[in-house]
Amino acid sequence: MGRILDVIAPPRMGVPFRWNLASAWVAQLGDGIALAAGPLLVASQTDDPRLIAAAAMVQQVPTLVLGLYAGAIADRVDRKRLVLTANLLRVVVLLLLVGTILTGTISIGLLLLALLAVGTAEIFADTGWRAVLPSIVPPGDLGVASARQMSGFLVANQMVGPAVGASLFAVGHALPFGVQATAGLLAAALFAKVALPAVVRAQDREPQHVGRDILDGLRWIRHHAPVRTLILVILAFNITWGAPWGVLVYWAQQRLGVDEVGFGLLTTASAVGGVIAVVGYDRLERRVALGVLMKVCLTLEVLMHLALALTTVPAVAYVVMFAFGAYAFVWGSLSNAVRQRATPHDLQGRVGSVYWLGLTVGLLVGQLIGGLLADRFGPAAPFWFAFVGSAVTLALVWRQLGHIAHADEQSHGDEQPHGE
């Protein structure tokens, strides 16, 4: 068991990282359970497609409205306390939801309110949690750390959790949310054991309005070309990625002719590819230059969009989705590490919040575009859009990727926000 633990979380990465990783994996399992049980609960309360869509959208609203504010708060307060408080508030909301289900007082209105509250707590918890990692892991190991975190997301959230959540919901509608709340409590207890070093925060220098803190973060990004370009790349590639993925089930049914099981195999193939990639990420990072690795990942994304636009054969689609999952999670681990290495500790919350806001906005815009294209031009059209858009974006940033990969080397002298 000790040897397995050393492979998953090498001793050089420290005990705090191990506690943090355990907390993240437990939390991901709870969220994965809700990933299946949540839509099932919504469907049990209404058959109105507008309300069903609202339930999916309401959890994204906090990121759009409060994302930058949460980033500033994460740089102002004790990040450990922020994560614990937000997670415990989320547990309280889940327990109240369980109470309404058991007493029969649940309604679609209360459910939407609960989802909004959970999403709000989650944005503060996740922002603080992401800002913690660079404080407990050496810069050279941030890519490996990010990959290990993603392995928990893939296995617990995407593969195991939904199956467990659907099974628990069949036993009792309140059961999966009670289990999710329990997982949240356990995750908080594990995270409480993470020892964080003291860092300089915005309020330690000069008390100022939180809006000024946000502007300082944006100024730092504006003056740091590699991180600024990386965020723009994330925005553009998530627009092109979100377009076909927002209508993936429609494309699978209309273009490949697969049923529900066949569609499930597409997402499973992607998850399996991702697991294999993140497990072997540390070897890959040691053997391939970071700039080359970034170029390979983004080139593969362009080519995979083309392959999925052309194919009508399910077997080919499964192979492509496996490859897609593999390089997509390598890119995710690498891009997170590059950003975190380049960002000063007291700006991790603000810079990270802009990064994730760009990711979320890109996905939402892409999904809207994908729906319109599929409706007007057919199921393959979003993939053609993704191919052309990602190819043009890659051509524009190709020469800059080497600089982006080593953005931390250009951070000297930018340790302070560019405020007045």
210-246 pLDDT per residue, tens: 888 899 999 999 999 999 999 999 999 999 998 998 8
Topology agreement, domain 1-194 and domain 208-411: yes
CA dihedral 128, 138, 327, 259 (to 10 degrees): -40
**Average pLDDT in the 126-136 region?**
88
Asked if 76 and 137 count as a contact pair (C-beta separation under 8 A), the reply is no
Query: What angle, 0 to 180 degrees and rounded to 10, lies between the N-to-C axes of helices 225-245 and 348-377?
Result: 30
Which range has the top average pLDDT, 1-5, 41-45, 116-120?
116-120
**Looking at the predicted structure, is the pLDDT value of residue 415 above 50?**
no
Identify the CATH number of the domain defined by range 1-194.
1.20.1250.20
**Looking at the predicted structure, is the pLDDT value of residue 418 above 60?**
no
Q: What is the pLDDT of residue 44?
A: 86
Q: What is the pLDDT of residue 414?
A: 45
**Average pLDDT in the 153-166 region?**
82
**Looking at the predicted structure, is the pLDDT value of residue 43 above 60?**
yes
Residues in the chain: 420
**Average pLDDT in the 377-381 region?**
93
Asked if 251 and 382 count as a contact pair (C-beta separation under 8 A), the reply is yes
CATH class of 208-411: mainly alpha
**Looking at the predicted structure, is the pLDDT value of residue 203 above 70?**
no
Q: 1 falls in which pLDDT band (50, 70, 90)?
A: low
Q: What is the pLDDT of residue 206?
A: 58
| Percentage of residues in the chain having pLDDT higher than 70 | 93
Q: Which of 134, 157, 132, 174 is nearest to 41 (CA)?
A: 174
Q: Could you give the CA distance from residue 351 to residue 379 in angstroms, rounded to a whole number?
A: 36
**Looking at the predicted structure, is the pLDDT value of residue 306 above 90?**
yes
Q: What is the pLDDT of residues 245-289, one digit of tens each?
A: 888 888 988 999 988 778 878 878 888 888 888 878 888 888 888
Q: Could you give the CA distance from residue 4 to residue 2 in angstroms, rounded to a whole number?
A: 5
CA atoms within 13 A on the CB side of 172: 11
Spans of all domains in the chain: 1-194, 208-411
Q: What is the pLDDT of residues 69-111, one digit of tens each?
A: 999 999 988 999 999 999 999 999 999 999 999 999 999 899 9
**Looking at the predicted structure, is the pLDDT value of residue 64 above 90?**
no
Q: 200 falls in which pLDDT band (50, 70, 90)?
A: very low
Q: What are 224-228's contacts with CB under 8 Å, separation 24+?
A: 224/342, 224/407, 224/410, 224/411, 224/414, 225/403, 225/410, 226/338, 226/342, 226/400, 226/403, 226/404, 226/406, 226/407, 226/410, 227/339, 227/342, 227/343, 227/351, 227/404, 227/407
State the amino acid at position 65 in one-letter form: V
DSSP designation for 197 = P
Q: What is the pLDDT of residue 49?
A: 67
**Looking at the predicted structure, is the pLDDT value of residue 207 above 70?**
no
**Looking at the predicted structure, is the pLDDT value of residue 53 above 80?**
no
Higher pLDDT, 169 or 43: 169
Q: What is the pLDDT of residue 95?
A: 96
**Looking at the predicted structure, is the pLDDT value of residue 291 above 50?**
yes
Query: What angle, 0 to 180 degrees and rounded to 10, lies between the N-to-C axes of helices 260-279 and 314-342?
Result: 40
Q: Quick one: which H or E segment has residue 151?
A: helix 142-152
Which range has the top average pLDDT, 295-309, 359-373, 406-420?
295-309
Which range has the top average pLDDT, 25-34, 92-101, 128-137, 195-204?
92-101
Q: What is the pLDDT of residue 195?
A: 87
